[in-house]
Amino acid sequence: MTALGKLVRTTTFKIVAVYLLVFAVIAGALILYLARHTQDLVVSQLTETVEAEVRILNDQYRIGGIRRLVAVVDQRAAQPGSNLYLVTTYAGVALAGNVTDVPTSALDSQGWTEITYRRPEGGESTRESRALVRVFFLQGGFRLMVGRDFEERERLRQILAVPARWAVVLLVVLGVVGGLVVARRVLGRIDAMTASSGRIMAGDLAGRLPVAGSGDEFDRLANSLNTMLERIEGLMAGLKHVSDNIAHDLKTPLTRLRNRAEEALRTSQGEAGYRAALEATLEESEHLIRTFDALLMIARAEAGEAREGMVDFDAADVAKSVAELYEPLAEESGMTLGVEADGPLPVRGHRELVSQALANLVDNAIKHGAGEVRISARREGDQVLLTVADRGPGIPEKDRARVLERFVRLEASRSRPGSGLGLSLAAAVARLHGTEIKLADNNPGLRVSLALPLRPGYDKA
């Protein structure tokens, strides 16, 4: 492609061209309108002047006939800057007036017409000029012509023409400069965005689009794209984290599984030995399946796929039902499980996932807590909080954000059973509902709250 072709294809060129065109059209229309209007004005003034003159002459003619008319015309024609006058006989011989070389055809008919004439000044005939005249036929074949030179119109036209020419030059310059400035400003930022996205595409996921800070459309665009990039980066980081953890948390039991099978084969200890090995293998595979299910559940909740399963339900019912399910277990573990849920607390959400998340929290509390576990459901603003509080060792503040991630188990609890996915599932369920999970100190112990949006349109009693 030629350099010119490239130039024509750039948006800068197009913007400048459009700018120029728009400027030119507007300016042209303005000038044309102005010119027309002033010309019309001048012509109507000429007409009025001539008509006033005609009235005077007509009066004189009626009083004194052709003689008086000739005398008056002679007198008026001699005045400086006078109108044009001509009185002729039927044959076209001039009786009075200040015009010569009028084409005879101009006097052949009555009414308004434009003529070219010469005006004798100081005895000599001068330059040709144009005028607007009115012709009358009088009795006896005499003809009267009264008119006014177009001189004023010409002068006005010249007065207008010069600035108009300058205006055009100015317009072109302003149009080009304006177009260039706008194009440079707009396209410069687009180019910067293109360059940034190029870098991000090349793998710099931490990169962001430039924001000028002016809050204009480009900033809004850059901001929303940046938010999107942040979400993508977060998801990518999550994915990486998950794959790292899957590698660890699924491969470890898989390795154990394999080792057990190999060991049983190697050191065949009779039927009882095989049996024990197979039972251990089954147990290990159960554990693997559980971990896998939990991971799939989290992935689904996070992908927002479970959104279809949203229904209206009473959060207080869920709290009571989960408490009922876990109460015997707590008792067997030497703890008490209390529930505080005054319904109805209508929410819109995924009942099954919320129940599971709450069950996981209660399960955690029973595993790690001591003494008493309390489940509560209450309204707070336009949210319903499902809270599980225990009296266990709690979680140090610095670790609280981390335990919500998948597979994270604090060293202190590594040896206890569990997939380490309970809290992350609860967090994913909260995200599915557009809320979040909060960990707080129960002094002593841990207090975990899962917030749910109150059913839209539900009025407080």
Partner 1 sequence: MRLLVVEDDRDAADYLKKALRESGHVAEVARDGEEGLALALDDEFDVLIVDRMLPKRDGLSVVSELRARGRSTPVLILSALGQVDDRVTGLRAGGDDYLAKPYSFSELLARIEALARRVAPQASDTTYKVGDLELDRLAHSVTRGGQDIPLQPREFRLLEYLMRHAGQVVTRTMLLENVWDYHFDPQTNVIDVHVSRLRSKIDKGFDKPLLHTVRGAGYMIRDGAR
Whether the Cβ atoms of residue 375 and residue 319 lie closer than 8 Å to each other: yes
Residue nearer to partner 1 on the CB measure, 147 or 422: 422
Compute the CA torsion angle 261, 267, 273, 279 (nearest 10 deg).
-10
Give the helix ranges, DSSP H, for 267-380.
Answer: 270-303, 315-332, 351-368
Residue nearer to partner 1 on the CB measure, 287 or 438: 287
Minimum CB–partner distance for residue 200 and partner 1 (Å): 34
Alpha-carbon span 394 to 368, nearest angstrom: 8
* Contact between 324 and partner 1 per CB under 8 A: yes
In this chain, which stretch among 34-42, 149-157, 304-312, 445-453 interacts with partner 1, using CB under 8 A?
304-312
Residue nearer to partner 1 on the CB measure, 9 or 307: 307
* Contact between 40 and partner 1 per CB under 8 A: no
* Contact between 277 and partner 1 per CB under 8 A: no
Which residue in 34, 296, 303, 401 binds partner 1 (CB under 8 A)?
296
* Contact between 315 and partner 1 per CB under 8 A: no
Which residue in 43, 250, 325, 410 binds partner 1 (CB under 8 A)?
325
Q: Can you read off the two tokens belonging to residue 128?
A: 């040709």
Strand order in the sheet with 372-380: 336-341, 372-380, 383-390, 446-453, 437-441
Q: How many Å from the N-terminal Cα to the C-terminal Cα in the chain?
A: 74
Strands 336-341 and 372-380: parallel
* Contact between 312 and partner 1 per CB under 8 A: no
Give the helix ranges, DSSP H, for 202-269.
Answer: 217-266
Alpha-carbon span 155 to 169, nearest angstrom: 22
Q: Can you read off the two tokens belonging to residue 330?
A: 């707590």
In the region spanning residues 413 to 432, those forming contacts with partner 1, defined by CB under 8 A, are: 418-419, 422
DSSP string, 136-176: EE-GGG-EEEEEEETHHHHHHHHHHHHHHHHHHHHHHHHHH
Residue nearer to partner 1 on the CB measure, 50 or 322: 322
Which residue in 142, 218, 313, 326 binds partner 1 (CB under 8 A)?
326
Minimum CB–partner distance for residue 224 and partner 1 (Å): 31
C-alpha dist (Å) from residue 121 to 78, 92, 98, 267, 316: 10, 21, 9, 142, 114
Residue nearer to partner 1 on the CB measure, 262 or 293: 293
* Contact between 352 and partner 1 per CB under 8 A: yes
Which residue in 363, 372, 405, 441 binds partner 1 (CB under 8 A)?
363
Whether the Cβ atoms of residue 421 and residue 295 lie closer than 8 Å to each other: yes
* Contact between 300 and partner 1 per CB under 8 A: yes
* Total site size for partner 1, rule CB under 8 A: 34
* Contact between 183 and partner 1 per CB under 8 A: no
- Write out the residues near partner 1 by the rule CB under 8 A: 282, 285, 289-290, 293-294, 296-297, 300, 305-306, 308-309, 321, 324-326, 328-329, 331-332, 350, 352-353, 355-356, 359-360, 363, 366-367, 418-419, 422
